[in-house]
């Protein structure tokens, strides 16, 4: 955690919440979540609990950590089948803090990372949770994003090639060349870029650690969190990303899979079962899914490498300083693309 409330900022937040009839007395704040991107706090006055989301301390990369955009998206989704927290208030930059933030309802269920808690810790309940996740993803991709006012959220035409190029720019050199250890996956993605499978509202960070489960049975999602990367694009990117974050028995876990290690427990659907469920729900052609999974893993490597360089510049989160984190994602990307197998056959 690189930022926390002071007595002065906490009092300013308290006045803001009381002024919006959200709280009625003195508040306490507690950091929740992994804290490596936007900062999330549980705020309570003893009777009522809410969640406050704010960006990390400046400097912030252009277009990143946009709290007002995230709040608008959650508000638009509130009337859909996708379970999301309710946005209760929004503060502009300078109104309370030197950055904008928003206040949302608190979903009291568990966020699962390394262990599934009781009463959800049975094979049947875990299977129900896994299928609820993929069903929610299908529901998200069926949202009429124009009808809910999100037509300006992104540009779906040419999304795949454009997204690939935009991410490349975070790590390429002045001549446009990627780092040497990125080059093989980078070239494979560019050579195999598929046309878009469709246009949908996509989350871009959909994994078990970014959802709140209902605390009782049956196992199901109560709220989807962390919408900062959401856009209008190819829905298969969400499916590929989810697969990239699901750990596999007997394989080392990349850093994001470690945040969902609970999915190794008995009962959670396998990757193949999740894919089949999504196919049954949506009828989408999933022939190119390996490209989207590879893209997701390569993209995580890019973001971790970009964040690692920020640490070297003295302005980033020290969590990202270990270069082995980047290599973990790149290794999984090579396996997803079949490049690791090809290299082994050559040797």
Q: How many other C-beta atoms lie within 10 A of the C-beta of residue 147?
A: 11
Long-range contacts of 7-14 (CB under 8 A, 24+ apart): 9/96, 9/97, 12/96, 12/97, 13/43, 13/52, 13/96, 13/97
Q: What percent of the chain has pLDDT over 90?
A: 86
pLDDT tens, 130-181?
999 999 999 999 999 999 999 999 899 999 999 999 999 999 999 999 999 9
The pLDDT assigned to 61 comes to 54
- Give me the mean pLDDT over the 101-125 stretch: 96
Q: How many other C-beta atoms lie within 10 A of the C-beta of residue 84?
A: 22
The pLDDT assigned to 309 comes to 93
The pLDDT assigned to 34 comes to 65
The DSSP element (H or E) to which 131 belongs, if any, is helix 123-141
pLDDT tens, 260-279?
999 999 999 999 999 999 99
d(CA 95, CA 100): 8
pLDDT of 58 strictly over 80: no
- Give me the mean pLDDT over the 119-128 stretch: 98
The pLDDT assigned to 56 comes to 82
d(CA 340, CA 331): 8
pLDDT of 59 strictly over 70: no
pLDDT tens, 61-107?
555 558 899 999 999 999 999 999 999 999 999 999 999 999 999 99
Q: What values do phi and psi take at 40, rounded to 5?
A: -125, 135
Tell me the pLDDT band of 346, cut-offs 50, 70 and 90.
very low
Each residue of 197-227: b (16+ CB within 10 Å) or e? bebbbbbbbbbbbbbbbbeeeebbbbbbbbb
- Give me the mean pLDDT over the 26-55 stretch: 90
Write down the mean pLDDT value for the chain.
93
The structure's pTM equals 0.91
d(CA 124, CA 266): 9
Cβ proximity of 241 and 140 under 8 Å: no
Dihedral sign (CA 13, 89, 136, 49)? positive
Q: What values do phi and psi take at 305, rounded to 5?
A: -65, -45
Q: Which 3 state secondary structure label does DSSP give 119?
A: coil
The pLDDT assigned to 341 comes to 60
Cβ proximity of 146 and 199 under 8 Å: no
Dihedral sign (CA 282, 285, 288, 290)? positive
Residues with Cβ within 8 Å of 82's Cβ and at least 6 positions away in sequence, in order, are 136, 139, 140, 143, 224
Compute and round to an integer the Cα radius of gyration of the chain: 20
What is the DSSP pairing of strand 87-91 with strand 101-105? antiparallel
Q: DSSP for 266-318?
A: TTSPPHHHHHHHHHHHH----TTHHHHHHHHHHHHHHHHHHHHHHHHTT-S-G
d(CA 149, CA 110): 31
């Amino acid at each position: 955690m690189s930022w926390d409330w002071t007595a002065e900022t906490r009092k300013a937040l308290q006045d803001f919440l009381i002024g919006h009839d959200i709280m009625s007395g003195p508040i306490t704040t507690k950091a929740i979540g992994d804290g490596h991107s936007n900062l999330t706090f549980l705020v309570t006055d003893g009777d009522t609990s809410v969640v406050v989301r704010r960006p990390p301390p400046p400097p912030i990369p252009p277009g990143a950590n946009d709290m007002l955009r995230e709040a608008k998206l959650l508000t638009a989704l509130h009337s859909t089948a996708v379970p999301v927290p309710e946005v209760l208030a929004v503060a502009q930059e300078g109104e309370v803090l030197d950055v904008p933030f928003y206040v949302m309802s608190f979903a009291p269920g568990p966020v699962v990372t390394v262990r599934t808690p009781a009463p959800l810790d049975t094979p049947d309940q875990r299977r129900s949770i896994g299928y609820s996740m993929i069903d929610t993803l299908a529901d998200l991709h069926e949202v009429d994003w124009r009808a809910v006012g999100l037509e300006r959220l992104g540009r779906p035409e040419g999304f795949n090639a454009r997204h690939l190029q935009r991410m490349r720019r975070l790590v390429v050199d002045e001549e446009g060349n990627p780092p040497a250890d990125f080059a093989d996956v980078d070239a494979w993605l560019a050579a195999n870029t598929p046309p878009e499978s469709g246009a949908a509202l996509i989350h871009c960070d959909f994994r078990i650690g970014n959802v709140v489960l209902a605390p009782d049975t049956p196992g199901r999602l109560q709220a989807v969190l962390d919408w900062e990367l959401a856009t209008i694009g190819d829905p298969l990117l969400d499916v590929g990303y989810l697969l990239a974050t699901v750990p596999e028995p007997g394989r080392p876990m990349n850093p994001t899979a470690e945040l969902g290690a609970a999915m190794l427990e008995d009962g959670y659907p396998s990757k193949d079962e999740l894919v089949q469920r999504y196919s049954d729900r949506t009828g989408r052609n999933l022939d190119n899914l390996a490209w989207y999974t590879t893209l997701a893993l390569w993209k995580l490597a890019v973001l971790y490498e970009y964040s690692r360089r920020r640490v070297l510049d003295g302005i980033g989160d020290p969590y990202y300083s270990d270069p082995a984190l980047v290599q973990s994602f790149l290794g999984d990307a090579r396996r997803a693309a079949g490049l690791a197998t090809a290299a082994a056959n050559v040797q």
